[in-house]
A and B are shown apart, each in its own frame.
Chain A
Amino acid sequence: MTTPTGESGRYGPYGGRYVPETLIPALDELTDAYARAKADPSFLEEFDALSADYVGRPTPLYRARRFEAKAGVGPVYLKREDLNHTGAHKINNTVGQALLAKRMGKPRIIAETGAGQHGVATATACALFDMECVVYMGMEDVERQSLNVYRMELLGAEVRPVESGTRTLKDATNEALRDWVTNVRDTHYIIGSVVGPHPFPLIVRDFQAVIGREARRQILEVEGRLPASVVACVGGGSNAMGMFHAFVEDEEVALIGVEASGHGLGSGHSSAPLSEGRPGVLHGSLSYLLQDADGQVAPAHSIAAGLDYPGVGPEHSHLMDSGRARYVSVGDEAAERAFRELPGLEGIIPALETAHALAWVAEAGRRGEIVAPVAICLSGRGDKDVVHVSRLGGGAAP
């Protein structure tokens, strides 16, 4: 297959720039600044140095033997993005984009956040580079991720709760876009996933692609072969795109994205646009989208705030349509079980988002539907979810 590089802003028919005219010059400026940065060895050196000394890369690739025994499949490797500074893969992108904003001379940064991980990672990069930082967060997420709100404030960011619409990530993104339309001359929008208008899906993928590059090298070192299956959870899809990108040309490697089916596909309470949506335009790009018959965006639901989004990155839509990647889904209950299970097995508390990928591998392993070696992107740690899950009751897994 031909793999779109994303330089054109299109992945098959998906992607593009469906935004108000006001933003076009800023997107042109960003496209241009990014192309120049990418070709500038000093930019890449600075980014690599920060990735090593500040973010803590490379992250380990850890073989999870007790998880293997329980899932009945192995070897299974976890790419430990939870061990990055701030506890998730999100910082790979925020450090890169903050560096880019500095080069563009934009002193003010805005971001949207769902689970709060991207907000924390943005606030962190802004503290590092001494930039003003405003983070938009849906009121519902402010309530269920209060720990991350406090972390952002400690880091010097202003968190603006968003009361409109469904009061989650989708509406936080609308509000961030409105801020950007208003303050575009001095503000850079650090979008948190491989979504939004071109060049964001390209930039975010490129900054996250370090995940897959490292994982590929690491598994070749220990196994002497490529993984048969690479698995990651998909909300907007940044950890999945980062994990998949280095493997796209390796056609023997199955790429599997796990969406959140919430209360179940067809229930009207899910976040699985690739599984049950159809193409549409939201937040500046064309991609699979949860929507009603009239083209109104449907509210999403997931136990995991970071997956609670009705859209998905355009490159995932293309990878699905072209058959290169496969997208499956896991509901709230199975994700919650996986969240409770991994700590006792491996001493690792995964984020609820990540727990969707773990749950799918465990189920597929038990059914004999997945081929090893398996590499799972352990996209984030679950400290932020502990209070929320403990309120659901039920205690730890036996």
Chain B
Amino acid sequence: MSGRVPRGRIGARFAKLTREGRCGFIPYVTTGYPSLAHTREMVAGLAELGADVIELGIPFSDPMADGPTIQRSSQGALDNGTTVDDVFEVLRDLRRASDVPVVIFSYLNPVYSRGVDVFIREAVEAGADGILPTDLPLGADPELESRILDSPLDLVRLVAPTTTPERTREIALASQGFVYYVARTGVTGAREELRGALAEEASAVRSVSPLPVAVGFGISTPGHARAVGAAADAAVVGSALVDRLGETGVAGALALAADLRRALDEVDG
């Protein structure tokens, strides 16, 4: 098996964060929401202001792990006619200006439909570093999983609050790039407050993971980012940025991203 040790752009970025004692910032964008032009500006801006990894989302018709914000952004993107080709095109454009690590966030079917090997090849050619399939848990499809694991793309896996300790260890050992800890039992979406036990849980995952641990789901404010940053290697912010993008456009969303970046820099990694 390949992977399991930091490699490529993602590995280099986390190594740099560790050296500098900083906490990573991982913003998510739904490609094509509210338009492809917005996505292009967003990812360029995020790279510019120091995002450590960008999660580039493929919109899906049936996002069963997502709350209202990402359901709406996904539907909006599909209504605009956004395709997987567009996602790769956005990525190619970004690569002309930036070497920020990019993880493609997707439900399995758009990947499966294209043919997993074709998808991997196209994603790598476009400049992707990893893939995070929401509905491909460890052991769901060993053959398909090993095709991703053996490819240049990192297979980023999720650990949930309901995951048992033994399985957490197995997932951490079978992940690539980083491990994504889901901050709450539920769907994605901005929240007023984070759970009190989160820091402790994230530390527990970190203690068994050879890879960096990012925490996401519900992280919405600089205050949340600081709280998460103290216990994790990186914070993932999705719905809060998507909401802001919908409300105030790219400038407003990038302003929130800059605040989040600053908040994370105030934390001792």
Contacts and interface: CB of A to CB of B under 8 A. Distances in A.
A179 B200 CA distance: 25
A22 B162 contact: yes
A21 B110 contact: no
Size category of the binding interface on chain A: 35 or more
Interface string A51-78: 0000000000000000000000000000
B197 interface: no
Contacts of A178: 64-67, 186-187
B113 A291 contact: yes
A156 interface: no
B108 A18 contact: yes
B62 A282 contact: yes
Interface in B150-205: 157-164, 167, 171, 182, 185-187
Given A18-B140, A22-B161, A165-B61, A295 B113 contact: yes
A17 B75 CA distance: 25
Interface in B105-143: 107-114, 134-138, 140-141
A394 interface: no
B231 interface: no
Interface string A156-177: 0000000011000011001001
A273 interface: no
B110 A296 contact: yes
B84 interface: yes
Interface string B37-67: 0000000000000000000000011111111
Contacts of B163: 21-22, 24-25
A279 B114 CA distance: 11
Contacts of A21: 137-138, 157-160, 162-163, 171, 182
Given A25-B162, A291-B109, A20 B61 contact: no
Given A281-B109, A294-B113, A16 B140 contact: yes
Nearest to B133: A18
B209 interface: no
Contacts of A283: 62, 64
A90 to B, nearest CB: 22
Contact of B110 (A170, A177, A294): A294
A25 B65 contact: no
A280 interface: yes
State the main secondary structure of chain B at its contact with A.
loop
Given A20-B160, A26-B162, A294 B83 contact: yes
B64 A185 contact: no
A184 interface: yes
Size category of the binding interface on chain B: 35 or more
Interface centre among B64, B141, B185 (most CB of A within 10 A): B64
A19 interface: yes
Interface string A274-291: 000001111110100101
Nearest to B163: A21
A308 B226 CA distance: 47
B78 A296 contact: yes
A229 B4 CA distance: 54
Nearest to B161: A22
Nearest to A20: B65
B239 interface: no
B61 A296 contact: yes
Contact of B160 (A22, A174, A293): A22
Nearest to B71: A164
A328 interface: no
Given A22-B161, A22-B182, A178-B187, A17 B65 contact: no
A40 to B, nearest CB: 25
Contacts of B65: 20, 22, 178, 181
Interface string A250-284: 00000000000000000000000000000111111
Nearest to B164: A25
A3 interface: no
A82 to B, nearest CB: 32
A311 to B, nearest CB: 10
Nearest to B113: A295
A282 B63 CA distance: 10
Given A20-B135, A294-B84, A281 B108 contact: yes
Interface centre among A20, A170, A171, A183 (most CB of B within 10 A): A20
Interface in A1-55: 16-26
B174 to A, nearest CB: 12
A322 interface: no
**Top 3 nearest A-B pairs by Cβ distance?**
A295-B113, A295-B110, A182-B186
Given A21-B171, A24-B160, A295-B84, 20 more contacts: A16-B140, A19-B137, A20-B65, A21-B163, A22-B161, A22-B185, A24-B162, A24-B163, A24-B167, A164-B71, A178-B64, A178-B186, A181-B64, A181-B65, A181-B186, A181-B187, A281-B107, A281-B108, A286-B112, A295-B109
Interface of A: 16-26, 164-165, 170-171, 174, 177-178, 181-185, 279-284, 286, 289, 291, 293-297
Interface of B: 60-67, 71, 75, 78, 83-84, 107-114, 134-138, 140-141, 157-164, 167, 171, 182, 185-187
13 contacts: A16-B140, A18-B108, A20-B134, A21-B158, A24-B167, A25-B167, A171-B62, A181-B185, A182-B187, A291-B109, A296-B60, A296-B61, A296-B109
